[in-house]
Chains A and B, each alone.
Chain A
Amino acid sequence: MIEVYFEKIVPLMLRGVPMTVLLMLYGTLLAAVLSFVFGLARLSRFAAVRGTASVLVELIRGTSLIVQLFWIYYALPHLGVELPKLPAAVIAIGVNYGAYGSEIVRSAILAVPREQREAAIALNFNSYQRMRHIIVPQALPRMLPPFGNLQVELLKGTALAYFIGLGEVFYRTMTQLNYYLYLLVPIFTGLLVIYFALSQLVLLLYRWAERRLAAGRM
């Protein structure tokens, strides 16, 4: 029984790991880009930009991730946009976590002292240069810890892609479960372990990045 578990089921479960990691990486990339786009847009000088960004962020945060995923994968084809499973999952996850990430970006930028902006104006940096070279580099270390949390949330959120049949860890596991119901407890325990190990890996990376960014300064 134990042999079956370790020799057959665990390897099959692990074959889902690359897809989970891939979904997480692409999702994170999209989420990071959108975090900055929405976060900066909500700090824009122009009320129209601020308003549009706020409405979008609230719309995304106010609807559930799984409904968004289903909408993108099942409803969008009826509107003429047919997406394969991975892109659909990446978009749903990236947009959703990007909306949450925008709040992190926004508040980290607001936490940079006003005087830094003034010093940059006095040196005649233009508004892009002020953001890019003075404000954001100082906001970045502040963003990392909450981004780490959000990234772990995102990793765990990738399991929802099971519902559209994307072959990641959870999906691979659930398809095995039907054949090995008597191993239900070890199978679900194994799932916990896999997600836990992946989360720890992500957090480790963030700790390393935090140390790198903090080195030498402040």
Chain B
Amino acid sequence: MEIGFEIVEVGSVVNEPYEGGGKLSMHMHAVPLAETAAERGSVRPMVRFRNIRKSFGELEVLKGVDLDILPGEKVAVIGPSGSGKTTLGRLLMTLEEPTSGTIEVDGEYLWHMEKRGKLVRADEKHLHRMRSKIGMVFQHFNLFPHMTILRNVTEAPIRVLRMRRNEAERLALEMLDKVGLADKRDNYPSQLSGGEKQRVAIARALVMKPQVMIFDEVTSALDPELVGEVLAVIKEIAADGKMTMLLITHEMEFARDVADRVIFIADGRIVEQGPPSRIFTQPESERLQSFLGRFRAYRAGR
């Protein structure tokens, strides 16, 4: 896993976009199919944020976000801490309720439902139905400490999907195998490293087969040497294709490698967005330029 990441100098890219960074050119093909479909207007977005605002008390964290994510699209959200990017994921997972605006998932309102022609706040039943389409992997893993690794993965299929135990275990072991941890099935979370915990958390979310998966800074709590194994697993899942992904991340090279589109959020607004090939090499806004510049300086200093 390469950690070093060179962002091509903004100036040089204008003239010779493909030569500045040898590694980058590999990813230039990644003009997303989804985006071209969107341009044709033929695909219904899997996720649609409409003028989403979120305040915590006096503090307005999101100040009107509009964002469409297409089926199968991998969208990376980058931005300084406190920019509201994690809140975006938490709203989509129904962990926080938007102050105003609407979210649609797969063509249905997430936080609202229609009742006698009026849009009202969703009840638990509606939220429960909508949540079956969405999954999330957290920064701090949030494994269930009182359950073995296998139970962590089988619990939701058995309780929520009413799957038979042996069927759930078969599926869970398949997923654990995918993340390389089938041999830890009888261990408890406390016996695993951070990277292993996060891979279990990914298997646990995958086993529910969500249509949209949110990865919320999944490597931020990991020791640097464990970041690679987790990102590799996510890349593999992304390569499978069909799952829609919202990747909230600080890992620029990861965003560049996996995402079809990169969203840059600052101060609660989407400041700039586009394919990673452009976002990282030809940032237009001053905010993004300085954000990437600071990021590069930090990397260089490490």
A interface residues (Cβ-Cβ under 8 A, vs B): 115-116, 118-119, 121-127, 129, 133-134, 137-138, 216-218
Contact residue among B128, B144, B146, B204 (Cβ-Cβ distance under 8 Å from A126): B128
Interface 1/0s, chain B 132-161, versus A by CB < 8 A?
101110101011111000000001100110
Separation of A216 and B140 alpha carbons in the complex (Å): 21
Known: A129-B159, A133-B155, A133-B159. A123 touches B138 (CB 8 A): no
Nearest chain A residue, comparing its CB with the CB of B94: A121
Cα A160 to Cα B75 with chains together (Å): 68
**Of B136, B142, B188, the contact of A116 (CB 8 Å cutoff):** B142
Do residues A127 and B205 form an inter-chain contact, with CB atoms below 8 A? Answer: no
State which of B124, B190, B205 has its C-beta within 8 Å of the C-beta of A123: B205
Measured CA separation A134–B142 after assembly (Å)? 11
Interface of A is mostly: helix
Cross-chain pair count, CB within 8 angstroms: 63
How big is the B interface, by class?
Answer: 20 to 34
Residues of B within 8 A of A (CB): 93-95, 124, 128, 131-132, 134-136, 138, 140, 142-146, 155-156, 159-160, 188, 190, 204-205, 208
Q: Find chain B residues with CB under 8 A from A129 CB.
A: 159-160
- Complex partner residue of B190 from A119, A121, A137, A218, CB under 8 angstroms: A218
A122 touches B205 (CB 8 A): yes
Structural contact, A119 and B94, CB atoms closer than 8 A: no
CA distance A217 to B186 in the complex (A): 11
User: A121 and B140: CB pair below 8 A?
Assistant: no
B142 with A217: CB separation less than 8 A: no
- From B132, B155, B208, name the one whose CB has the most chain A CB atoms within 10 angstroms: B155
Q: How close is A34's CB to chain B, nearest CB, in angstroms? A: 25
Also in contact, A126 and B124, with CB within 8 A (given A138-B145, A218-B188): yes
Asked if A134 and B144 make an inter-chain contact with CB atoms under 8 angstroms apart, the answer reads yes
* From A119, A137, A217, contact of B138 by CB (8 A): A119
Hey, which chain B residues are within 8 Å of A118, CB to CB? Answer: 93, 95, 138, 142
Contacts of A138 in B (CB 8 A): 144-146
Q: Pick the most buried of A121, A124, A126, A137: most chain B CB atoms within 10 A of its CB.
A: A124
A134 vs B144: C-alpha distance in the bound complex, in angstroms? 7
State the CA gap A191–B128 with chains docked (Å): 58
State the CA gap A18–B143 with chains docked (Å).
Answer: 45
Q: Are A123 and B208 in contact (CB under 8 A)?
A: yes
